[in-house]
């Protein structure tokens, strides 16, 4: 039984890691903030992201996400709020890209307001994304053991494993970005990264807003 449980957990971990490593809004936002605020900016964005994931993981474990997905109105409200936030963030990044072309802004000690912004951006980008709720409702149950003593406890355990993998992967990613920071923070390179990030977030926002509820 222990061997079967270990294999089960390993399979989940590998599947989760593949999903985490896939390029997406989290990676784009962490990259941009790591360039603006150095390693601290990247780490704060990553922590905010994992806290946003924790909201949906906990809700899925206690059944709230299922209720959200069952209500078309609630799902639509969350979807519109998430899309609006991502679109607003995309506009801010595109404006920042224009400023970056004119003058370099080397990373340094982050002011408290910028620290809060990095944390908030990471959190809201996941907490307001109904697709993250859908992910935890549809992905986690596939790895719940039929003989588990408590499905809720096991779901929370799997969510914790997912969060640890998220932190491990993006922790390494931020370290790599920070090492390449001198080159990546060149005004032209940084502006291009901010442009790509802004366009990506705008595309995700539009796709989120126009996607079917279920």
* Contacts for 1 with CB less than 8 Å, ≥ 6 apart: none
> What does each C-alpha distance from 96 to 25, 100, 105, 165, 195 come to in angstroms?
17, 6, 11, 31, 9
Residue 75's nearest CA partner among 84, 87, 65 is 65
pLDDT at 171: 95
DSSP string for residues in 66-125: HHHHH-HHHHHHHHHHHHHHHHHHHHHHHHHHHHHHHS-----PPPHHHHHHHHHHHHHH
Q: Cα separation of 29 and 31, whole Å? A: 5
pLDDT at 43: 95
Q: For every one of its 214 residues, what pLDDT tens digit does the chain have, with 9 covering 90 and above?
A: 455 566 677 888 888 888 788 777 888 889 888 888 888 999 999 999 999 998 888 887 777 666 665 667 766 777 787 778 878 878 877 887 777 665 555 545 556 778 888 999 999 888 887 778 777 777 777 776 655 556 677 778 888 899 999 999 999 999 988 888 777 667 777 777 777 877 887 887 787 677 665 5
194-205 in b/e burial notation, b at 16+ Cβ within 10 A? bbebbebbbebb
């Amino acid at each position: 039984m222990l061997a079967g449980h270990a294999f089960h957990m390993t399979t989940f971990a590998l599947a989760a890691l593949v999903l985490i490593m896939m390029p997406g809004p989290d990676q784009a936002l962490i990259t941009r903030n790591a360039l603006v605020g150095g390693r601290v900016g990247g780490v704060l964005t990553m922590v905010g992201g994992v806290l946003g994931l924790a909201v949906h993981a906990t809700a899925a474990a206690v059944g709230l996400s299922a209720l959200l997905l069952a209500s078309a109105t609630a799902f639509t409200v969350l979807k519109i709020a998430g899309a609006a936030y991502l679109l607003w963030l995309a506009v801010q990044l595109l404006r920042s890209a224009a400023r970056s072309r004119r003058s370099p802004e080397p990373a340094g000690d982050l002011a408290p307001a910028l620290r809060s912004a990095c944390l908030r951006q990471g959190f809201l980008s996941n907490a307001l994304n109904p697709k993250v709720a859908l992910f935890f409702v549809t992905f986690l149950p596939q790895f719940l053991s039929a003989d588990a003593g408590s499905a809720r406890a096991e779901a929370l355990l799997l969510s914790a494993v997912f969060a640890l993998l998220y932190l491990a992967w993006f922790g390494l990613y931020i370290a790599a970005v920070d090492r390449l920071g001198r080159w990546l923070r060149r005004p032209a390179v940084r502006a291009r990264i901010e442009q790509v990030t802004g366009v990506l977030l705008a595309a995700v926002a539009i796709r989120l807003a126009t996607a079917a509820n279920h």
